[in-house]
Structure 1
Amino acid sequence: MRTVFVGAGQVSVETAKALSEKGHEVVIIENNKDKIDELSEEMDCSFLLGDGSHPQILCEVSPNQTDFLFCLTNSDQANVIASLIGHSLGFKRIVTSITDPQFESICHELGLMDTIIPSRTVTRYLVDMVSGSENIDPSSVIKDEARLFMLVVAEEEAVTAIELDLPEAARAICYYREGEFSLVDDTEPFVVGDEVVILTDSKHLAELKKRWPSTVVAQDSDEPKE
């Protein structure tokens, strides 16, 4: 796998080190030369000096040959811009980090479905810890040919789960409406903007992706990501 990071913050550096140790090709784009000089002495990866939200810089890291583009600077705006430019340049998968939840819905409207809010992830983990809940890695339950697929409901799809006309081995199991989790009720229609999670056999992924191109897919960690 080939991964490009925009920004050399702590998350980027630690993730890049872990990927490099596993034999993955890693490139870090950073606009601070002193930081690059410092990191290049301790990391076995490539560096590119420049602004990762600039088209010319992103073109230099060969978008068509890159499996992941992680936009992890300390600026939400820079991450969103870099992600949008990366999308237009043909990066296969783009992950956008934001700190302000107000950007989340905007990112989804722009087709940036792999949007993460680090503080939210940490908060959930700590709350679960205090509550005594076990944190289950999705890869431990999504096995064999099972896959999770998430779609965002468009205006013409504001129908019930049954009327979505999903493949035989696919079921809508839950959805998020304005960030709130709910289980699917087959008699209740979805509304525009709902994020619907579908459990499906992997054989239906191509069909689902054709209907909903901008998606998030979870699968067994032993296989390469879609």
Structure 2
Amino acid sequence: MYIIVVGAGRVGQSLIKIATERGHNVVVIDRDENKCSEIVEKHDVIAIYGDSTIKTILEDAGAQKADALVTTTNDDAVNLLTVLVAKELGIKSLVSLVSQPDHALMFRRMGVNVMENPAQAVAEYLYRVLQRPSIRDFMSIGGGEAEIFEIVVTERAAVVGRTLDELKLPLKDTLIVAITRDEEIIIPRGDTMIRDGDRVTVFALARRIEEITKLFTG
């Protein structure tokens, strides 16, 4: 893919690193000349010092052949104006950070994929880890109404040595999606037995999460 990344701050640099390591062509635009020089030294990219809201700057970045544009600045106005110009230039895939949740709807109405308030998202993730250290990873769905999460089964858990059929889970509210065991992914069936150390991926309504956590960790 040919990707234009606007902003060479912390988020932008992380994205640039991932994209270049996976073989994508990346052009970076930033208003800070020093950041442009720094990013070119670190990664195999083209960096353009300039204002991404100006049409000619995006054209210089190769907008006519770009597959995607991602804005990563903490200024919603800059991000919004940039994606407006990018859309006019025909870039199909547009992604943007949005610092203020109230602004997200404006981006979505333009067909932009949005990552809202990344600092808040990180804070919420850390808080969830503090609350439920046995949960390795999670994704909130439906504004917090449900979650998909991975939980590690402990040896003292009541589920160890029992099949899914024997667990009598609240089926309307809970779904066991997958089990990872010794790096093998198992698609569970009713006769699948749970073992100590299994990493179980669960979809559950929020009101069931504490109950499920206790069931799998003891």
Q: TM-score w.r.t. structure 2 length?
A: 0.58
Separation of aligned partners in 2, 1:79 and 1:46: 20
Q: Please give the residue correspondences for 1:190-205 in structure 2 after superposition, counting only pairs within 5 Å.
A: none
In the TM superposition, what is the alpha-carbon distance from 1:66 to its structure 2 partner? 1.6
Offset at residue 128 of structure 1 (A): 2.3
CA distance in 2, matches of 1:116, 1:66: 24
- Give the Cα–Cα distance (whole angstroms) in 2 for the partners of residues 180 and 106 of structure 1: 22
Count the aligned residue pairs: 145
Kindly indicate whether the alpha-carbon contact (under 8 Å) linking 1:63 and 1:89 is maintained by their aligned counterparts in 2. yes
Residues 18 and 113 (structure 1), Cα distance of their counterparts in 2 relative to 1, 3 Å cut: closer
Residue 79 (structure 1) shift: 0.6
- Please give the per-residue CA displacement for 1:79-131, whole angstroms capped at 9, x wherever unaligned: 11111211221112111112111111222233324343212321331232123
Deviations 1:17-56 (A, max 9, x none): 2221222111101122222223322221111121011111
1:128 counterpart residue number: 128
Aligned partner of 1:92 in structure 2 is: 92
1:62 aligns with 2:62: yes
Runs of 4+ aligned structure 1 residues displaced above 6 Å come to none
2:159 corresponds to which residue?
Answer: none
- Tell me, in whole angstroms, the C-alpha distance in 2 between the residues paired with 1:52 and 1:30: 7
Structure 1 spans left out of the alignment, 5+ residues: 139-173, 183-226
Would you tell me which structure has more strand in proportion to its own residues?
2
Counterpart residue type for residue 111 of structure 1? G
| CA distance in 1: counterparts of 2:115 and 2:40, whole angstroms | 28
- The alignment partner of 1:41 has SS state of helix
Alpha carbons of structure 1 residues 181 and 120: separation in structure 2 relative to 1, 3 Å: farther
Separation in 1 of the partners of 2:105 and 2:92? 21
Residues 180/136 of structure 1: CA separation in 2 closer, same or farther (3 Å cut): closer
What is the RMSD computed on CA atoms of the aligned residues?
2.5
Q: Write the distance in 2 (CA, Å) between the matches of 1:18 and 1:105.
A: 28
Name 1:44's counterpart in structure 2. 44
Change (3 A) 1:181 1:81: farther
Q: Secondary structure at the residue paired with 2:99?
A: coil
Contact 1:64–1:92, Cα closer than 8 Å, also in 2 = no
The one-letter code matched in structure 1 to 2:59 is: C
Conserved? CA contact 1:36–1:47, under 8 Å: yes
Q: Distance in 2 between matches of 1:124 and 1:100?
A: 16
TM-score normalized by the length of structure 1: 0.56
Q: Is 2:33 aligned against 1:33?
A: yes
Contact 1:31 1:49 in 2 (8 A): yes
C-alpha distance in structure 2 between counterparts of 1:81 and 1:43, whole Å? 27
Q: Report Cα offsets for 1:151-210 as digits up to 9, x if no partner.
A: xxxxxxxxxxxxxxxxxxxxxxx8x5xx5647xxxxxxxxxxxxxxxxxxxxxxxxxxxx
2:21 aligns to what? Answer: 21
* 1:79 equivalent in alignment to 2:79: yes
> Is contact 1:98-1:116 (8 Å) kept?
yes
Larger Rg: 2
**1:26/1:128 CA distance change after superposition, 3 Å:** same
